[in-house]
Amino acid sequence: MPIDLPASLDRNVQTLDREVMDARAMTPEERLHCVALACRAAIDLLAFNVHRERILASQDPLPASSVLLLARLRERERVAAKMRVRA
């Protein structure tokens, strides 16, 4: 028996384009407002969660690729700062 997936799980590009059309049309300020609303909702939900402190304390480790990239960026900034001091 075939399974009918919801539209949000369909990998058809046209479906995905329709799904994100509204978000693409948003201004940066409108996107920021949506993010702020989501953060506010998360804070409200956490207020009633018995595991609040554990949830807030948890952190996913960075992927190795991100760790390497951050190290390169820090080194680049260290060198640039040294050059600014000499100038």
| pLDDT tens, residue order, the chain (87 aa) | 677 777 667 666 677 788 788 999 999 999 999 999 999 999 999 999 999 999 999 999 999 999 999 999 999 999 999 999 887
**Residue for token pair 């960075």:** 62
**Residue for token pair 């399974």:** 3
2 in a structural domain: no
**In terms of pTM, does the model score above 0.95?**
no
38 in a structural domain: yes
- For residues 83 and 77, give the distance between their C-alpha atoms in angstroms, rounded to a whole number: 10
50 in a structural domain: yes
66 in a structural domain: yes
Count other Cβ atoms within 10 Å, centred on residue 57.
8
1 in a structural domain: no
25 in a structural domain: yes
51 in a structural domain: yes
Domain that holds residue 46: 7-86
Counted domains in the chain: 1
